[in-house]
Chain A
């Protein structure tokens, strides 16, 4: 195909262009023509098509997401907010922490290993781009039914991919989730979170300022993988000879990324960059247009200088390639030699591909001919915005008007069977089969990791400052009531870090939904965002960034609305954290919070095929009092464990098995007490001498407490029901090996 230049575009205004195949609507194409005052060149069309895709432009979600800004609570902790590669929060002692979560759902369904691996790689580069050293990853995962044939294809590949990439980068994997539901059968969710640390002064932004500064591309060479990964593009649209039908899933090389991280950190330490951007979704189209719009807008790039793995790539393909492990930096000419030296030390390919100009146009040339001349903001930030129709779906009234109708266990034998059943059900069973494939020890700063309530890493070996993170979603509740579901997930994530003694500080999110073109899905999304924004405002926690993943649906069936909420908190001294279980006998076990008959959306109801009823209402004022109680009680709690899915039954199972010390529990209404999932509850273990201190806290924070029993023995005994730790362990640990080998 002949090169399409700006000159040619001006002289051939009526050439037909494949905008529809590139995923653009007729009115979007018309708008591009209006912006440019002519038809776009094929390279410009390629750039607009990927940058105006749902993934990059947030065109369906923008009108809702702005609530996170409008309802933002006052926070001194927020150093960099929404809009940059990742938000940055102040955690004290001069340290800043950046964290973000992203989805890589569709690629992971098509090619589980590479999809998951590059999902980890992408989020790690986002964190690195802020100037931070990545220090840990987490991975909330969701799959179709555990015993489905396709789950056996998808799950092992995704787990191996998350591990294969993260382990090779030297990033401890400190937590996540593994949840099964039939709606995820064609749409597994692979969400990846990364957290990084830096000093305040080291924060880097994506901006190309200063005319004459150089645009430098470094890292892996550009290949044909991942072309149009963010849009619906198929690579044959451009018909370039010999290299069609490339995979739209990127292929990762974690070794290159590890070297890129160390090389970049050395470059940052010597303060050699003005601005920086990683190449992820939409590749060079995104990096050049975002860097240029972050500055005054002017930039010239010679695209023919980009080092290629495949010399047959056309300019359009180079602009859209999503080849992994690449970064784009803006460097002052006086610093370029040192920059090149450091790249040489690490054997990293580096090329100056352009410079910042004092104009306001992004101009890209190919062997001297201008193929792109656009105002970069129109590519990066001024894409279409849709206020899509939304309507409460019919199922809401239907399911909300019904009551959960399940038989509750009664008598010792049935109670025992229920506890064992929950212990072994895939959603609640021991996840060691998964987590044993992840390195949790590397870097030597991991204080807590799965199966703890939250992941916790030490930031400073001298002062013992640390951060804790938890990611949570309860899609069953979100299905019954998306507004409450989002708030409840927020509360749970915050509670999960407070049980260890960390104070919640900031929020990130990964909003996984079906098609935004379905008004019912759009309503679920809008309600979830409203709930999260309201919840964050009430709890005083700023949203620092996030990710939206739409189109998670097969035919007419959308996934359950799955807003995954990540909360980050700070702990002043990691040595004083409260662990999730105890190691000794004779301690007193107490329940913080009241238990109501909350079976709607519970694991017990799910096991009986019932997704009906009304979700609990989130009482965030009460959750905040509980968090304060936990933080104050941290001084004398021996152990604290959050209750969520599976209620008290699951919570006790996890506690007694952790260090193989049993417990004797006395319950007045065992079936409901064990199976209900009333939010805002925590089990704690304390020395008998601390009971009066606990009572004082209960009064101070108006949180009900009730004694559950005492620790010790080699069984979990609930009233007259005795379950040996051995049979409980067998039930809990045999599920994953049985299903996945």
Chain B
């Protein structure tokens, strides 16, 4: 399995995501924002960071990077795509996912160990988990509050497209405690907290984030 990890100028968690891909059993392939091909990858991860300095809005400029046109095309054909944190914001700006991520309700950047519940385990990124499984992984962002209109929210809820919810007190004001969602087809996933920082108890709060990176192997088995 070849999993591409995109680096935009200002991306920060690309090395961490690549490390997690390898720990999950796949090969990590570096993709540059200006690349004109996806180097034959089977899946793509958009890592966290502050791409293009988060100028205008988070993800608003990255959405126009050459590599994103390829990602949008490939996603349309069913390629698994995972956007973490800033990557989630880029996916929303690219309209691969609905809604938007806005400032945390308390207006502070928040870095903490966060419990989330995996609600939908049928995506290529969550199939290693049991439905209802609770895991603790880092949450770290300034704009993590998921917002959308009532109609979209009803669709997300009704179609089972919420893949993870925050457990306990709402950390950032996200509607319906949404930590992650998927598209109608189920191949594109956006997640606010960081599973790539929880692959090893030595450097993270747990190793429970690894499931996102082992799940992708199940796609090939199928």
Chain B residues with CB under 8 Å of A170's CB are 12-13, 49
Is there an interface contact between A437 and B196, defined as CB atoms closer than 8 Å? no
Is there an interface contact between B53 and A442, defined as CB atoms closer than 8 Å? no
Is there an interface contact between B50 and A441, defined as CB atoms closer than 8 Å? no
Is there an interface contact between B12 and A445, defined as CB atoms closer than 8 Å? no
Contact of B15 among A253, A347, A436, A444 (CB under 8 A): A444
Is there an interface contact between A346 and B111, defined as CB atoms closer than 8 Å? no
Is there an interface contact between B50 and A440, defined as CB atoms closer than 8 Å? no
Residue interface bits B1-39, CB-to-A below 8 A is 1, else 0: 000000001101101100100000000000000000000
- Report the minimal beta-carbon distance from B113 to chain A, rounded to whole angstroms: 9
Interface centre among B16, B108, B138, B196 (most CB of A within 10 A): B108
Task: Name 8 extra pairs, CB < 8 A, besides A255-B53, A258-B10, A441-B204.
Answer: A168-B54, A255-B52, A438-B109, A439-B109, A440-B111, A441-B138, A574-B202, A575-B202
With both beta carbons as reference points, the residue of chain A lying nearest to B199 in the complex is identified as A444
With both beta carbons as reference points, the residue of chain A lying nearest to B203 in the complex is identified as A444
Is there an interface contact between B10 and A168, defined as CB atoms closer than 8 Å? yes
Is there an interface contact between B53 and A164, defined as CB atoms closer than 8 Å? no
Chain B residues with CB under 8 Å of A481's CB are none
Q: Is A163 an interface residue (CB 8 A)?
A: yes
Q: Which residues of A contact B (CB under 8 A)?
A: 160, 163-164, 167-170, 253-256, 258-259, 262, 346-347, 432, 435-447, 458, 461, 574-575
Chain A residues with CB under 8 Å of B111's CB are 435-441
- Report the minimal beta-carbon distance from B116 to chain A, rounded to whole angstroms: 15
Is there an interface contact between A168 and B13, defined as CB atoms closer than 8 Å? no
Is there an interface contact between B196 and A444, defined as CB atoms closer than 8 Å? yes
- Report the minimal beta-carbon distance from A172 to chain B, rounded to whole angstroms: 10
Query: Contacts A436-B112, A439-B111, A439-B140: A255 and B10 contacting too (C-beta < 8 A)?
Result: yes
Is there an interface contact between A458 and B109, defined as CB atoms closer than 8 Å? no
Q: Is B64 an interface residue (CB 8 A)?
A: no
Q: Is B194 an interface residue (CB 8 A)?
A: yes
With both beta carbons as reference points, the residue of chain A lying nearest to B12 in the complex is identified as A170
Is there an interface contact between B110 and A445, defined as CB atoms closer than 8 Å? no
With both beta carbons as reference points, the residue of chain A lying nearest to B7 in the complex is identified as A262
Contact of A436 among B16, B110, B196 (CB under 8 A): B110
Q: How far is B55's CA from A639's CA once the two chains are assembled, in angstroms?
A: 45
Chain A residues with CB under 8 Å of B9's CB are 255, 258-259, 262, 346-347
Contact of A442 among B12, B54, B55, B108 (CB under 8 A): B12
- Report the minimal beta-carbon distance from B185 to chain A, rounded to whole angstroms: 31
Q: Is B197 an interface residue (CB 8 A)?
A: yes
Contact of A259 among B10, B16, B110, B197 (CB under 8 A): B10
- Report the minimal beta-carbon distance from B176 to chain A, rounded to whole angstroms: 23
With both beta carbons as reference points, the residue of chain A lying nearest to B204 in the complex is identified as A441
Chain B residues with CB under 8 Å of A258's CB are 9-10, 12, 50, 53
Is there an interface contact between B110 and A437, defined as CB atoms closer than 8 Å? yes
Contact of A446 among B12, B52, B55, B203 (CB under 8 A): B203
Q: How far is B194's CA from A442's CA once the two chains are assembled, in angstroms?
A: 10
Contact of B16 among A262, A347, A435, A444 (CB under 8 A): A444
Q: How far is B108's CA from A432's CA once the two chains are assembled, in angstroms?
A: 12
15 A/B residue pairs, CB under 8 Å, sorted by A: A164-B109, A167-B142, A168-B12, A169-B12, A255-B9, A256-B53, A258-B10, A437-B109, A441-B111, A441-B138, A441-B197, A441-B203, A442-B13, A442-B140, A444-B16
Cβ < 8 Å to A, chain B residues 45-62: 49-50, 52-55
Q: How far is B113's CA from A435's CA once the two chains are assembled, in angstroms?
A: 12
Chain B residues with CB under 8 Å of A441's CB are 111, 138, 140, 194, 197, 203-204
Q: How far is B15's CA from A435's CA once the two chains are assembled, in angstroms?
A: 23
Query: Contacts A258-B10, A447-B203: A168 and B53 contacting too (C-beta < 8 A)?
Result: yes
Is there an interface contact between A253 and B53, defined as CB atoms closer than 8 Å? yes
Q: How far is B53's CA from A256's CA once the two chains are assembled, in angstroms?
A: 8
Interface centre among B53, B54, B110, B138 (most CB of A within 10 A): B53
Contact of B108 among A169, A437, A443 (CB under 8 A): A437
Residue interface bits B104-133, CB-to-A below 8 A is 1, else 0: 000011111000000000000000000000
Is there an interface contact between B110 and A168, defined as CB atoms closer than 8 Å? no
Q: How far is B109's CA from A163's CA once the two chains are assembled, in angstroms?
A: 8
Contact of B202 among A438, A443, A447 (CB under 8 A): A447
With both beta carbons as reference points, the residue of chain B lying nearest to A440 in the complex is identified as B111
Chain A residues with CB under 8 Å of B196's CB are 444
Q: How far is B126's CA from A292's CA once the two chains are assembled, in angstroms?
A: 58
Is there an interface contact between B19 and A444, defined as CB atoms closer than 8 Å? yes
Is there an interface contact between A167 and B10, defined as CB atoms closer than 8 Å? no
Chain A residues with CB under 8 Å of B203's CB are 441, 444-447, 458
Residue interface bits B179-213, CB-to-A below 8 A is 1, else 0: 00000000000000010110000111000000000
Chain A residues with CB under 8 Å of B19's CB are 444, 461
- Report the minimal beta-carbon distance from A78 to chain B, rounded to whole angstroms: 29
With both beta carbons as reference points, the residue of chain B lying nearest to A442 in the complex is identified as B12
With both beta carbons as reference points, the residue of chain B lying nearest to A438 in the complex is identified as B111
Is there an interface contact between B50 and A255, defined as CB atoms closer than 8 Å? yes
Q: How far is B111's CA from A441's CA once the two chains are assembled, in angstroms?
A: 9
Q: How far is B202's CA from A446's CA once the two chains are assembled, in angstroms?
A: 8
Is there an interface contact between A444 and B197, defined as CB atoms closer than 8 Å? yes
- Report the minimal beta-carbon distance from A163 to chain B, rounded to whole angstroms: 5
Q: How far is B49's CA from A169's CA once the two chains are assembled, in angstroms?
A: 9
Chain A residues with CB under 8 Å of B108's CB are 160, 436-437
Q: How far is B140's CA from A168's CA once the two chains are assembled, in angstroms?
A: 12
Q: How far is B204's CA from A698's CA once the two chains are assembled, in angstroms?
A: 34
Is there an interface contact between A443 and B15, defined as CB atoms closer than 8 Å? yes
Is there an interface contact between B55 and A255, defined as CB atoms closer than 8 Å? yes
Interface centre among A256, A436, A438, A439 (most CB of B within 10 A): A439
Cβ < 8 Å to A, chain B residues 71-104: none
Chain B residues with CB under 8 Å of A438's CB are 109, 111
Chain B residues with CB under 8 Å of A443's CB are 15-16
- Report the minimal beta-carbon distance from B50 to chain A, rounded to whole angstroms: 5
Chain B residues with CB under 8 Å of A436's CB are 108-112
- Report the minimal beta-carbon distance from A458 to chain B, rounded to whole angstroms: 7
With both beta carbons as reference points, the residue of chain B lying nearest to A259 in the complex is identified as B9
With both beta carbons as reference points, the residue of chain B lying nearest to A169 in the complex is identified as B12
With both beta carbons as reference points, the residue of chain B lying nearest to A457 in the complex is identified as B203
Q: How far is B51's CA from A259's CA once the two chains are assembled, in angstroms?
A: 10
Chain B residues with CB under 8 Å of A262's CB are 9
Q: How far is B56's CA from A237's CA once the two chains are assembled, in angstroms?
A: 37
Chain A residues with CB under 8 Å of B138's CB are 441
Chain B residues with CB under 8 Å of A575's CB are 202
Chain B residues with CB under 8 Å of A442's CB are 12-13, 16, 140, 197
Interface centre among A163, A167, A444, A446 (most CB of B within 10 A): A444
Q: Which 7 A/B pairs are nearest by Cβ-Cβ distance?
A: A255-B53, A170-B12, A444-B16, A441-B197, A168-B50, A441-B138, A437-B109
- Report the minimal beta-carbon distance from A345 to chain B, rounded to whole angstroms: 8
- Report the minimal beta-carbon distance from A21 to chain B, rounded to whole angstroms: 37
